[in-house]
Amino acid sequence: MSGAVKGRVMVLGARSEIGLAIARTFAAQGHPISLAARRSEELEAERADITLRHNVDVELLEFDVLETAALGPFVQDAPGLPSVVVSVIGAMGDQRDSETDVAAAAQVFRTNFEGPAQVLGLYAERMISEGAGGTLVGVSSVAGDRGRGSNYVYGSAKAGFTAFLSGLRNRLAEQGVHVVTVKPGFVDTQMTRGMDLPKALTAAPEEVGVAVLRAVEKQRNVSYVRPVWWLVMRIICALPEGIFKRTKL
């Protein structure tokens, strides 16, 4: 990532607080930015602010990860190819709704796994075919490390996304395209507002932005935004099933 010319960074899901924090972090390093999201015109104020603060080009792109038929044209027909593509798309949904409403569960599965996996897979193919190399970043979740009763629909979708990223990284290891998996843990955003979250385990969106930047620069494979989450999840994953079933996690 060194050199006078910085590569463009595409943020998929840029309407989220984490997405904007990632965009601002890369823009502060001189990277031109593409903000892709539904109702992208509503990001005009953020576009102007990032442009003014960091003197970089910022474009808005209309993008809906659930419009499967449009993903191919979005990736293939766009002029220029970003050097970094970050998918920060996600939605927790309501666990109880997902247990009783197949449409609600499908929305969680599609938003957290199907769509992000498909669009990053398409970018991988374009990076390979153009011989451009690059970095793909998937913002997944610690919730995918082990299914828990409180959020296993969301967690299983993230587990699928994590496995997809791992497989893609393995496949592309010698083709000049690096794949990074980022696991933020709790983040203080609108999605978690009102929850009683432990401060030691809760990151600000800006921390996620810095973690993504560092992971890209250092070509990390998997990054826990707060390293303590690695230890927490190793303990949770090590619990025998008989004990785990009696927990309320």
User: CA angle 80-84-88, nearest 5°?
Assistant: 115
**Using CA atoms, how far apart are residues 194 and 121, in angstroms rounded to an integer?**
35
Q: Judge whether 154 counts as a catalytic residue.
A: yes
137, 84 contact by CB (below 8 A): yes
**Using CA atoms, how far apart are residues 55 and 30, in angstroms rounded to an integer?**
8
**Using CA atoms, how far apart are residues 208 and 185, in angstroms rounded to an integer?**
10
Tokens of 32: 């031109």
Helices (H), the chain: 17-28, 44-54, 68-77, 95-100, 102-109, 115-129, 152-172, 205-217, 228-238, 241-244
Which residue, 136, 134, 124, is CA-closest to 12?
136
Grouping H, G, I as helix, E, B as strand and the rest as coil, residue 211 is helix
Write down the catalytic residue from 123, 152, 154, 224.
Answer: 154
Hey, which residues are catalytic here? 154
